[in-house]
Amino acid sequence: MPLREHLRELRRRVVLAAVGVVVGAIAGWAAYGTVFDLLQQPLVLAAAENDAVVSANFGGVATAFDMQVKVSLFLGVLVSSPWWIYQLWAFVTPGLTRRERLAAVGFLAVAVPLFLAGAGTAWWALPNAVRLLTELTPEGATNFIDAQNYLSFVMRLVLAFGLAFLLPVLLVGLNLANLLQGRAMLRGWRWAVMLAFLFAAVMTPTPDAVTMIVLALPICGLYFAAVGIALLHDRRTDRRRLAEGLPRLDGTVPEGWTPAAGTRTPAA
């Protein structure tokens, strides 16, 4: 596919994904009150445990309106996740065979639960993070947290972990499209583990190592699962290519193999 066609396809997928997010945001607008109460729960718990004043502060005339718009868009991203994940997958893997597309559809069904599991994991860690961070407030001081900054903090945490849990699915998609080999993913496992722990440490600003480890281990496990699936796919693809008279994906061939017939020549 020419570069211009790729760009057109990318624009088409982005527009379709954005339409899905807007539709989800309309539903999120109606659920704003309930969701905002849930967002305040970590602040309420932190205030109760620290015996201090901790609350969200609306510092401007239009802040409440901006807050509702942002929360609605945030909910739109979560609600429409099956739609925009499909658009992302369809752009990454446009050249799959019919059989590979059927396998991809089955694996795509795992992507949405993984994204939601990552978002749920971040939500689980949020109260602990808010409690520990607000404990640093000096005695006698009042911690009025800017509502928009607090929402940005929550959105970054939730979406970052959702996308981190989704990354292995994208790696498998690149492998199914023969753009990334399983051996390359396996060689980079040390970097992957280090980045997973670094990501967990940065995104969970808490001093305890337990939370960081609990968040990093699932990401590492998903990465190695993606590596295993990619290696199995590469093995099947290599066998098919050799049978068709083509070299392996990495350009190597077995000893005694002839390109014309795709078979081994008898040993001398």
- pLDDT, residue 161, reads 84
Nearest to 173 by CA among 85, 84, 262: 85
Mean pLDDT computed over every residue of the chain: 79
Token pair 């704003």 is found at: 32
- pLDDT, residue 191, reads 92
Task: Please indicate, yes or no, if residue 255 is contained in any of the structural domains.
Answer: no
- Residue 140 or residue 232, greater confidence: 232
- pLDDT tens-digit readout, 8-46: 888 888 999 999 999 999 988 988 888 888 888 888 887
- Quickly state the pLDDT bin for 206 (edges 50, 70, 90): low
Show the 3-state SS of 181-248: CHHHHHHCHHHHHHHHHHHHHHHCCCCCHHHHHHHHHHHHHHHHHHHHHHHHHHHHHHHHHHHCCCCC
- Are 3 and 53 a contacting pair, CB within 8 Å? no
CA distance 72 to 166: 22
By mean pLDDT, which of 34-48, 65-79, 200-214 is the weakest? 200-214
Task: Please indicate, yes or no, if residue 267 is contained in any of the structural domains.
Answer: no
Does the pLDDT of residue 268 top 50, yes or no? Answer: no
Does the pLDDT of residue 153 top 70, yes or no? Answer: yes
CA distance 251 to 134: 57
Task: Please indicate, yes or no, if residue 91 is contained in any of the structural domains.
Answer: yes
What H or E segment, with its residue span, contains residue 14? helix 3-30
- Structural domain including 96 reads 3-248
What tokens does 91 get? 């752009």
Task: Please indicate, yes or no, if residue 263 is contained in any of the structural domains.
Answer: no
Nearest to 173 by CA among 238, 261, 251, 233: 233
By mean pLDDT, which of 63-67, 120-124, 160-164, 251-255 is the weakest? 251-255
Question: What global pTM score does this model have?
Answer: 0.69
Report how many domains make up the chain.
Answer: 1
Task: Please indicate, yes or no, if residue 217 is contained in any of the structural domains.
Answer: yes
Task: Please indicate, yes or no, if residue 156 is contained in any of the structural domains.
Answer: yes
By mean pLDDT, which of 50-54, 127-131, 210-214 is the weakest? 50-54
Average pLDDT, integer, range 130-144: 74
CA distance 20 to 241: 39
**E strands within 15-111?**
54-57
- pLDDT, residue 267, reads 45
